[in-house]
Structure 1
Amino acid sequence: MEALSNFVVRHRRLVALVWLGALIAGVFAASGLSSRLDQSFSMPGQKGYAANQAVLKQYGNGAGQEPLVPVLTVPAGTTVDDPAGAAAVAKAFAAVAALPGYRVVSYADTHDPVFVSADRRTTFALVYPKLPPHSEAAAAVGAAADQVAATLRPNLPAGVKADVTGMVPLALGSGSGGGPGVLAETLIGGIGALAVLVFVFASFLALVPLIVAAVSILTSFLVIFGLTEIMKVSSLVQFLVALIGLGVAIDYSLLLVTRWREELAQGRDSETAVHNAMATAGRAVAFSGVTVGLGLVALVLLPVPFLRSMGVGGMVIPLISVAVTLTLVPALLAGAGRRLDWPRLRTEGRAARGWTGWARFVVRHRLVAAVTALLLLGVLGGNALTMKFGDPKPTSLAQSGPARAGLDALRGAGIPTGVLTPIEVVVPSGADRAAVARQLSGLPGVRATVAPAQWHSADSSLVDVLPVRETITSESRTLVDQVRTAAVAAAPGALTGGSGALTADMVSAIYGDFPQMLVVIGVVTFILLARAFRSIVLPLKAVLLNLLSVGAIYGVVTLVWQDGHGSQAIGGLPAAGTVTAWIPLMIFAFLYGLSMDYEVFILARMREEYDSTGDTTTAVVEGIGRTGRLVTSAALILFLAFASLAGGPEVQLKVFATGLGAGILLDATVVRALLVPALVSLFGRWNWWLPEWAAKVLRVPSSPVREGTPAVAEKELQTAG
């Protein structure tokens, strides 16, 4: 770090020019990035994906996209079997089937009673529209729903109510459409960050972290622009880079600038202050960037392309932020730091009085504080045991509009909502399609099967399995597996697809090896932190507390979004009944690293103070006193960034962003400001223990337990009191 610091200070103008060039290039890259990003959530290599691609290739539609479901209700006193009504219904559905590339099945062409309600007044159809290539699927399906409605209504007599529902129209009706855009959301988050930074620095130094954030984000966009040449990158990456980058880059520069001011307050000149800040805070920033990247390794290792691309894209921003912070910030501080530190309304000459008082309070009541924090985290984490993976229930989506009216008509007629998510079975050519349909119709949880004569090609035919319950939750995975097994038994080579198959495959792909990944990530993090803190206990505690913190946030997401305790107040949505399968993994990948930032900031300062004084209580009090305001300010900035993302209309991003936002606040308050100082105080001298054998492996100086510990313990208790 010393060599880097010396180089940057000597060549500060060159460093500034290099990053200015990257900033300008990043502006151009950002303007054209959206069109190069992948809008799909494909899963090549999975059985459900293979089935859906076969349907798409042979029939030109479907591909795992849930069908549109037109629902027709005839006036009271009539039925869909009445001659006049039946003719009109048949004509209307025939007009939809005549749309180019559409695949339709209904009562009109099958006379299957599964399509008619018990009172014979309501009927529905399954409509698979042909979607334009390279389209944004949700918008294209929404346009198709409008086209289906416009085609139906002119062919129906007066008094027949017609609405088009389906999972995608319901999601669009709940507000899952376009938001204000990534740049607008970043600007909103940046304004909130500026307000916090002005409070922290009370000088023009508040602009430095924002400059670092702008350079980091736009440089990351430039790198991702290049990555799109060699791999598909999910469209979600741009939001993650912009908003997580806003928080991380500001966090890192905030730590370095604060330490520089502290060194100035102790009488150092500007360049010496830069070197000292780099040797202490700069080292913590480097370790923090590595730990954030470690959490994202979980995404990179998964056999799910869109998640892998989010992991790769997510790793770019902390690494770029570290590079910018450790080069541009010292260059700016060495060149113009004193001029920017005006008006100097606040200095860093001593630890914050409020945070010092809080730390002494926690140390005095260490056992109560630790038990209280652990109980709270344990209670929240216990709720995570009831988490169910899947897409939101239909009833939790649109609460008004045509899609909701169609859903209510279905439910009012006694038709189960499972028909919105059929399982599609591709039966090889030569196999008995009718026999397969009969075999599958007898499975528990299946309402009926349909195998229209017109659904065939030279290579296959199709059977749709209509379940009683939606097949988009982890609970329906059993039914999907049973259909797969029975279909292959009845017709060797049969493929099972549909959205339910994709959900089942995604859960298996994401969480099949998740425990092993947790172990690997935990071990690597432990080794890195053991080297950074020269301790066995501190890194072990850090890893365990991070996992406990993530578990508690899973409980919060389950309580709020799955069970609906507060979802109306936060997002205007009722209980979803499930949590989208990729969200918990994404929360872990980002929260694990982001919360470790705060652990590194706090414990690095505690280690430094303990090395100077040999007193654990002094280390805790001074460490929290020096970093408490910094950590809470950084957490607030990240929270504002996630709140900006959560303010958009996309339901899944709303859940993801609120999970991360709540996680950051919980981690910065309950874990880092309460539980960490309480546990460090309780562990006393054992916090700093690194035996000789471990020190040799890690290639750092050992840290034996100091002699005379009873006297040290007594001093700690007296200081705390």
Structure 2
Amino acid sequence: MQLLSRLASRHPWTVLLVWGLAALLSLPLAARAPAALNADPAGGLSDSEATRVTDLLRDRFGERDTNTAILVTRSEPPLTTPQGQATYDTFLAGLARVPGVSRVVAATPGGPLPTQAPDGGLALTVAQIPLGDGGTPALSAVRAYVRGFQATERSAALSVRVTGGQAIADDFTAFAEADTKRSEFTALPLIAGLLLLVFGALVATGLPLVVGLLSISVAMAALYGLTFLMPVSTFAQSVITMLGLGAGIDYALLMVNRFREELRRGGDSRAAAGRTVATAGRSVAFSGLTVAIAMAGLILPPVAFVRSIGIGGVLAVLLTVLASLTALPALLALLGERVNSPRLFKVTWAQSTRASAGWTAFARRVTARPWLGALLPTAALLILAAPALTMKTGYAGAWGLVPGVESRDALDDVRRLGAGGLLSQFEVVLDLQGERYTPAKRGQFQAVVEELRALPGVKAVLSPFLTPADLGAGGGGLDALSALTRRSFSADRTLLRVTVVPDDTLRAQDIAAFEARLRDTLRGSGFAYLLGGAPVGGEEFSRAITGTLPSVILTVFAGTFVLLMVAFRSVLIPLKSIVMNALTVGAAVGVVTLVVQQGVFARPLGIPDDVGVLDASLPVLLFAVMFGLSMDYEIFLLSRVQEEHLRGASNDEAVVLAVGHTARIITSAAVIMFIVFAAFMFGRVIATKSIGLGLAVAVALDATVVRLILVPAFLKLAGRWNWWLPAWLDRRLPHIRMEH
């Protein structure tokens, strides 16, 4: 810390020049990052069963383009008239020429999956496009063609909307990016106004924003570089923005407040900046490390998609800490007393070197009845956390977007035609264990297909055993049967394939039961098998993440315990901090479950009441971010308690004095962070809205119920045991003094 203190106070221009160059070089790369992110629900699962099925379909069955775009057309006059059919045929001919489209399947009024309404007014067209990286460009080309076609006069009677798995994922990514930008622009003016009330001076108001924007721009550039190494989640951008703004403002509040205090004590601005880093900087460094440890927990799940969020979060926090300990004090060293100009308000909200009389009196009332202060908040937090026990996770698909988004709204028409199962197809590959398919195995193969067709909830099974009667009018006759036969056998005829289409689009909470029925049937078929498709991939992704949640929690708890034990030279305080932060996280997750999954108060908050599940990555993501940020206020408060205790105050008096000195800065920082997080609730992606809701609830609870009531009450009850550390451990731990 002494090195950073000397660097920032003695060479401020050099420090600012380095940060300025880093920001300038980062901006072009940061601007490219959002487009390189994705929302693939199975991202990073390279050896999953669903991935193996996709590879077999590509390599052994010659299915190069198993991805689809579903185009919903409304025609007036309808397709049953010559004019309507002619317009539709013109549309199909142009669609087949779109780059990336390998095949177009026209609407049919009959067959196992009718894709045309009897009156011809509503129809579905399926365009096959590449999987993986080629899917998004191909879909963009399809959408561009649709816009161009609809702009022509002759197509005025044909309206087209695009949906499908790729369209839903691309809309998820696009709207997540747009929502993040909108949240930033919405929050920044509000934050600036609040900071002006806190500091009372225009120059000081701008400093926290500078720190946040510096760290965000460099972190986003690093995130763009990460996209060349692994799939990077759309959530990573939101996490970087939240941490960069939220933590950056928290740390800047602490640093600027300490700098003003040092200026009043005398000495020049550079010396004051150096002392600020040496004192408050320690709290910032330890607070940042606790957040970084929590975010690093996301690197544990064996899913590159989730690891990218963890890496992005760690980058954002470390860069925010670095900017707070170098760029900010360098600015302060150069500004000196000008940090207080132009002075717009004589009375400020939080920036005072004196303890708040009101908060001091409040702390005395809490510590006078410590059992009441400990039990009531704990009970309230447990009640709020109770809904989390019923939490369900999965990939919400179209229901992860709000109504009004084309890919979600078009799904209603797909389901109206009875073809909703097209978005939830299961691919079954039967392995003959190296033997070739012969007529002798036909009966066994057909028996499996019939058993699958008989399962409840199955709309159709695409296999070589469909007949012209099954295909119905417009089903394609012999050509369609020939195509079904080709798709059902691998080139060497040692693998068999059938596609199971459910009655309707499966919601995330219904996939496991449907999959279990399929597996029960396949296990009794006598064939070795693999089961794939988008629903299986989504379930595997969910299990991969939720299965590692216990190890993530234990790792974060262990790392945080060691760090706090070193910082505060206590065994009880780290344990208390972990338990109370866990209560905060549990309460916030319970509220998110109640609103998003159960639909309670969902509509007033702009969340549809039919989502049904939380995105699979939300529990681990919310835990990491919430737990880390909750430690900010914990360290701010405890470092002051320790400082007062080391000065000779009794345990009870140290607690009261610490609350009196820190409550204003904690509440002002919490209000600002609440605004940052709440701004993310006004978007179109349910997962992002859920993150914003969870973090807003967590910071509100943590800065009020937990930090100002529960913690002081517990510290009072623990008494001298707060600072107990075994002698043998005390000799082995490094000695670090925490101040702010």
Query: TM-score when scaled to structure 1?
Result: 0.82
Q: Is the 8 A contact 1:244 1:641 kept in 2?
A: no
After the TM superposition, which residues 665-684 of structure 1 pair with which residues of structure 2 at under 5 Å, given as runs?
Answer: 665-684=700-719
The correspondence for 2:66, drawn from 46, 52, 62, is 62
- Aligned twin of 2:357: 353
Distance, in Å, in 1 between the alignment partners of 2:286 and 2:645 is 19
TM superposition shift of 1:477: 1.9
- Aligned twin of 2:385: 381
- Aligned twin of 2:273: 274
Which secondary structure state, in structure 2, belongs to the residue aligned with residue 348 of structure 1? coil
- Aligned twin of 1:507: 542
TM superposition shift of 1:200: 1.3
Residue 519 of structure 2 is aligned to residue 521 of structure 1: no
- Aligned twin of 2:209: 210
TM superposition shift of 1:485: 6.1
- Aligned twin of 2:502: 467
Q: Is the 8 A contact 1:299 1:589 kept in 2?
A: yes
Residue 51 of structure 2 is aligned to residue 49 of structure 1: yes
TM superposition shift of 1:197: 1.5
Distance, in Å, in 1 between the alignment partners of 2:144 and 2:616 is 26
Residue-by-residue CA offset, 1:660-695 (whole Å, 9 max, x unaligned): 222222222222222222222222222221121332
After the TM superposition, which residues 408-557 of structure 1 pair with which residues of structure 2 at under 5 Å, given as runs?
Answer: 415=418, 420-427=423-430, 430=436, 434-443=446-455, 445-451=457-463, 453=481, 454-455=483-484, 456=487, 458=491, 462-468=497-503, 470-484=505-519, 486-487=521-522, 490=525, 492=527, 494-557=529-592
Distance, in Å, in 1 between the alignment partners of 2:645 and 2:651 is 6
Distance, in Å, in 2 between the alignment partners of 1:261 and 1:161 is 63
- Aligned twin of 1:705: none
TM superposition shift of 1:510: 0.4
Call closer, same or farther: CA 1:96–1:61 in 2, change over 3 Å: farther
Residue-by-residue CA offset, 1:352-387 (whole Å, 9 max, x unaligned): 233323322322333223222112211111101111
TM superposition shift of 1:98: 7.0
TM superposition shift of 1:410: 7.0
After the TM superposition, which residues 594-633 of structure 1 pair with which residues of structure 2 at under 5 Å, given as runs?
Answer: 594-633=629-668
Distance, in Å, in 2 between the alignment partners of 1:164 and 1:212 is 42
TM superposition shift of 1:350: 0.4
Q: Which amino acid aligns with 2:637?
A: I
TM superposition shift of 1:626: 1.9
- Aligned twin of 1:11: 11
Call closer, same or farther: CA 1:34–1:514 in 2, change over 3 Å: closer
Which secondary structure state, in structure 1, belongs to the residue aligned with residue 499 of structure 2? strand
TM superposition shift of 1:135: 5.4
Q: Which stretch has the larger CA shift, 300-309 or 34-43?
A: 34-43
Residue 228 of structure 2 is aligned to residue 193 of structure 1: no
Q: Which stretch has the larger CA shift, 176-185 or 342-351?
A: 176-185
- Aligned twin of 1:22: 22
Residue 301 of structure 2 is aligned to residue 299 of structure 1: no
Distance, in Å, in 2 between the alignment partners of 1:185 and 1:439 is 51
Which secondary structure state, in structure 2, belongs to the residue aligned with residue 283 of structure 1? helix
Distance, in Å, in 2 between the alignment partners of 1:223 and 1:106 is 46
Q: Is the 8 A contact 1:129 1:141 kept in 2?
A: no
Distance, in Å, in 1 between the alignment partners of 2:135 and 2:107 is 27
After the TM superposition, which residues 309-324 of structure 1 pair with which residues of structure 2 at under 5 Å, given as runs?
Answer: 309-324=308-323
Call closer, same or farther: CA 1:615–1:276 in 2, change over 3 Å: farther
Call closer, same or farther: CA 1:463–1:293 in 2, change over 3 Å: same
Which secondary structure state, in structure 2, belongs to the residue aligned with residue 302 of structure 1? coil
Q: Which stretch has the larger CA shift, 438-447 or 598-607?
A: 438-447
Q: Which stretch has the larger CA shift, 40-49 or 283-292?
A: 40-49
What is the total number of aligned residue pairs between the two structures? 689
Q: Is the 8 A contact 1:292 1:590 kept in 2?
A: yes
After the TM superposition, which residues 140-289 of structure 1 pair with which residues of structure 2 at under 5 Å, given as runs?
Answer: 140=139, 143=142, 177=175, 180=178, 182=180, 185-203=183-201, 204-266=203-265, 270-289=269-288
Call closer, same or farther: CA 1:300–1:492 in 2, change over 3 Å: farther
Distance, in Å, in 2 between the alignment partners of 1:105 and 1:496 is 28
- Aligned twin of 1:101: 102
TM superposition shift of 1:653: 1.9
Which secondary structure state, in structure 1, belongs to the residue aligned with residue 600 of structure 2? coil
Distance, in Å, in 1 between the alignment partners of 2:56 and 2:403 is 35
Call closer, same or farther: CA 1:566–1:449 in 2, change over 3 Å: same
Q: Which stretch has the larger CA shift, 394-403 or 585-594?
A: 394-403
Q: Which amino acid aligns with 2:596?
A: W
Q: Is the 8 A contact 1:208 1:253 kept in 2?
A: yes
Instruction: Report the aligned-residue RMSD.
Output: 4.4
- Aligned twin of 2:476: none
Residue-by-residue CA offset, 1:113-158 (whole Å, 9 max, x unaligned): x65999999998784631587357499289469959989xx999x9
Q: Is the 8 A contact 2:37 2:173 kept in 1?
A: no
Which secondary structure state, in structure 2, belongs to the residue aligned with residue 68 of structure 1? strand
Distance, in Å, in 2 between the alignment partners of 1:497 and 1:22 is 45
Distance, in Å, in 1 between the alignment partners of 2:502 and 2:147 is 24
Q: Is the 8 A contact 1:176 1:650 kept in 2?
A: no
Residue-by-residue CA offset, 1:323-360 (whole Å, 9 max, x unaligned): 11112222222332222123563552301233323322
Q: Is the 8 A contact 1:560 1:575 kept in 2?
A: no
Distance, in Å, in 2 between the alignment partners of 1:208 and 1:518 is 34
Identity level (%): 33
- Aligned twin of 1:714: none
Q: Which amino acid aligns with 1:385?
A: L
Distance, in Å, in 1 between the alignment partners of 2:226 and 2:76 is 55
Q: Which stretch has the larger CA shift, 600-609 or 618-627?
A: 618-627
Q: Is the 8 A contact 1:695 1:701 kept in 2?
A: no
Which secondary structure state, in structure 2, belongs to the residue aligned with residue 289 of structure 1? helix
Distance, in Å, in 2 between the alignment partners of 1:488 and 1:138 is 39
Q: Which stretch has the larger CA shift, 523-532 or 685-694?
A: 685-694
Q: Is the 8 A contact 1:93 1:106 kept in 2?
A: no
- Aligned twin of 2:612: 577
TM superposition shift of 1:229: 4.7
- Aligned twin of 1:660: 695
Distance, in Å, in 1 between the alignment partners of 2:683 and 2:736 is 50
Residue-by-residue CA offset, 1:456-511 (whole Å, 9 max, x unaligned): 15265542223356444244224325535644664755432222111210122101
Which secondary structure state, in structure 2, belongs to the residue aligned with residue 458 of structure 1? coil
Q: Which stretch has the larger CA shift, 460-469 or 356-365?
A: 460-469
Residue-by-residue CA offset, 1:211-266 (whole Å, 9 max, x unaligned): 22222222223433444454443444333323321111221122112122233345
After the TM superposition, which residues 332-343 of structure 1 pair with which residues of structure 2 at under 5 Å, given as runs?
Answer: 332-343=331-342
TM superposition shift of 1:637: 2.3
TM superposition shift of 1:286: 0.9
Call closer, same or farther: CA 1:311–1:175 in 2, change over 3 Å: closer
Query: TM-score when scaled to structure 2?
Result: 0.80
| Unaligned residue ranges in structure 2 (runs of 5+) | 465-480
Distance, in Å, in 2 between the alignment partners of 1:299 and 1:595 is 17
Q: Is the 8 A contact 1:292 1:594 kept in 2?
A: yes
Q: Which stretch has the larger CA shift, 213-222 or 596-605?
A: 213-222
Call closer, same or farther: CA 1:260–1:406 in 2, change over 3 Å: closer
Residue-by-residue CA offset, 1:638-675 (whole Å, 9 max, x unaligned): 22223333323233222222222222222222222222
Q: Which stretch has the larger CA shift, 221-230 or 354-363?
A: 221-230
- Aligned twin of 2:472: none
Distance, in Å, in 1 between the alignment partners of 2:391 and 2:206 is 42
The correspondence for 2:600, drawn from 565, 577, 587, is 565
| Unaligned residue ranges in structure 1 (runs of 5+) | 703-721
Q: Which amino acid aligns with 2:199?
A: F
Q: Which stretch has the larger CA shift, 249-258 or 428-437?
A: 428-437
Which secondary structure state, in structure 1, belongs to the residue aligned with residue 498 of structure 2? strand
Call closer, same or farther: CA 1:623–1:464 in 2, change over 3 Å: same
